Amino acid sequence: MSPKQLPAPGVDTYFPGHGDARYRVHRYELALDYRPGPNRLGGTARLSAVAGTEPLREFALDLAEFRIGRILVDGRPAHYTHRAGKLRIRPAKALAAGAAFTVEVHYTGNPKPVRSQWGGLGWEELTDGALVASQPVGAPSWYPCNDRPADKASYQISITTPSPYTVIVGGRLLTRTTRASSTTWVYEQAAPTSSYLVTVSIGPYETLRVTDPAAGAEPLRRVPQTAYLPTPLMPRFTHDFGRQPQMMHLFEELFGPYPFGEYAVIVADEELDVPFEAQGVSTFGTNHLDGVRGSERLVAHELAHQWFGNSVTIADWRHIWLNEGFAKYAEWLWAERSGGRTAAQHAAAAHAKLAALPQDLRLADPGKKLMFDDRLYERGGLTVHALRCALGQEAFFRMVKDWTAIHRHGVVSTADLVAHAGRYTDRRLDTLLNAWLWQGPLPPLPVAT
């Protein structure tokens, strides 16, 4: 076994109760049934996992309140306790270090959001249907998982629900089978996926293929783009998301090939505070459509997360700025390349805004309380801009493309980015990056030299 396959050491300091670093899961197979009326979810989760460097007498999964039918480890009944969102499992026989094993959990119940300082996370009942927005720790609201971003796995998700509903899960739709009044949707997400990026949307949605009307001859490779939304929103959507194919084109040029097989956008029939990214999917609310592209920067932001966050994933939540800084910068790059303000103008505006706010945010380890603070997004974008100014245009984009290629479907930290960026210049970046990443006071506005 190569060191890469071993579980990363340590515990997430922001969410010490989540995840278990003593083993890793490489595949989840979920076979679930959902009834929207009574909001009832049940079925089986089958996990294929590998023990770490120590033998395992017991191990833990994260799962909110559900009634557990039975739990099997390697096909044999296992003892367990289930308290405070933690499912502690003791196999009949201890698992040897490095041993591959399977866990099967049969469960049923009424899923509800996990409470957090940011409101409810995870499974959320809608007026007509449901959606899942788990970042950062909502995944256990609907399935048993090793809930740490670094433990990425492939997924097969099968959901049976009443036939009038459309079910969207990231990845490729393998089959859709209707029996009596229920339909079973089976999706496969082959790319390694963090638990917080697994989503489900169930609703009365119409399906729309998103194509680029401006594109003449078919390019060699095109990412299939699909939208799911309530029919009445169709005209606004076609206008507001009309430039998404060009965005995809630009980001592939700047960040390298799109990391997944397809991209889907959902507009839920509900207002959402913020849109959110999942693996191969982004979900928006009705309030993000206004017919005048008022939220286009968010269309760019969520798409950029497919590279930054979803393919190149943070080792733990301290490094959240790597997701949000690059996604924010992608907004500025899109604006710059689509006839709007330049990235330098956006940087100047963000700098002026931050200069007037408290300067107590440590970007590279903001603490749980500030991990989704607005300032983290703006300062993250500025830090990426500072790198562009320090490296120069050509080296900067080479650095970014190599970053997404080297760490494609992998796990990274701030230290990895600092070391990586250093290879693209003869200048020392320590002082500059230390000021942006680790100190509170706002460094001067970066300018291209």
> Alpha-carbon distance 261 to 276, whole Å?
19
CB of 15 to Zn ion, least distance (A): 18
Cα 425 from Cα 93, distance rounded (Å) = 54
Cβ atoms 269, 289 nearer than 8 A: no
Instruction: Give 161 or 282: the residue with its C-beta nearer to Zn ion.
Output: 282
361 binds Zn ion (CB under 5 A): no
Q: How far is the CB of 429 from Zn ion (least distance, A)?
A: 25
**Segment interacting with Zn ion (CB under 5 A) among 144-152, 316-324, 339-347, 361-369:** 316-324
Sequence-separated (6 or more) residues with CB below 8 Å from residue 415 = none
How many binding residues for Zn ion (CB under 5 A)?
Answer: 2
| Residue closest to Zn ion when measured from CB atoms | 327
Among residues 32, 105, 304, 327, which is the contact residue for Zn ion, using CB under 5 A? 327
Closer residue to Zn ion in complex, CB, 264/327: 327
371 near Zn ion, rule: CB under 5 A: no
Q: Which is nearer to Zn ion, 324 or 416 (CB)?
A: 324
- Residue closer to Zn ion by CB (options 135, 146) is 135
The region of 110-118, 166-174, 217-225, 326-334 touching Zn ion under the rule CB under 5 A is 326-334
354 scored as a contact of Zn ion (CB under 5 A): no
Candidates 64-72, 204-212, 323-331, 339-347: pick the segment binding Zn ion (CB under 5 A). Answer: 323-331
Task: Give first-to-last CA distance, the chain, whole Å.
Answer: 47
Piece of 11-19, 240-248, 287-295, 324-332 that binds Zn ion (CB under 5 A): 324-332
Smallest separation (angstroms) from Zn ion to the CB of 305: 6
Stretch that binds Zn ion, among 5-13, 181-189, 320-328, 435-443 (CB under 5 A): 320-328
**What is the SS3 string spanning the chain?**
CCHHHCCCCCCCCCCCCCCCCCEEEEEEEEEEEEECCCCEEEEEEEEEEEECCCCECCEEEECCCCEEEEEEECCEECEEEEECCEEEEECCCCECCCCEEEEEEEEEECCCCECCCCCCEEEEEECCEEEEECCCCCHHHCCCECCCCCCCEEEEEEEEEECCCEEECCCEEEEEEEECCEEEEEEEEEEEECHHHCCCEEECCEEEECCCCCCCCCCCCCCCEEEEECHHHHHHHHHHCCCHHHHHHHHHHHHCCCCCCCEEEEECCCCCCCCEEECCEEEECHHHCCCCCCCHHHHHHHHHCCCECCCEEECCHHHHHHHHHHHHHHHHHHHHHCCCCCHHHHHHHHHHHHHCCCCCCCCCCCCHHHCCCHHHHHHHHHHHHHHHHHHCHHHHHHHHHHHHHHCCCCEECHHHHHHHHHCCCCCCCHHHHHHHHHCCCCCCCCCCC
- Closer residue to Zn ion in complex, CB, 205/329: 329
Nearer to Zn ion (CB atom), residue 143 or residue 276: 276
Nearer of residues 104 and 296 to Zn ion, judged by Cβ: 296
Contact segment (CB under 5 A) with Zn ion among 172-180, 209-217, 318-326, 360-368 equals 318-326
Report the residue number, 104 or 277, with the smaller CB distance to Zn ion: 277
Minimum distance, C-beta of residue 195 to Zn ion, in the bound complex (Å): 17
Selected range binding Zn ion among 42-50, 146-154, 197-205, 317-325, rule: CB under 5 A: 317-325
Q: Give min distance, CB of 144 to Zn ion, in A.
A: 27
Q: How far is the CB of 53 from Zn ion (least distance, A)?
A: 34
Minimum CB distance to Zn ion smaller for 130 or for 327: 327
Q: Which residue lies nearer to Zn ion by CB, 151 or 324?
A: 324
Closest distance to Zn ion from the beta carbon of 224 (Å): 23
Footprint on this chain of Zn ion (rule: CB under 5 A): 324, 327
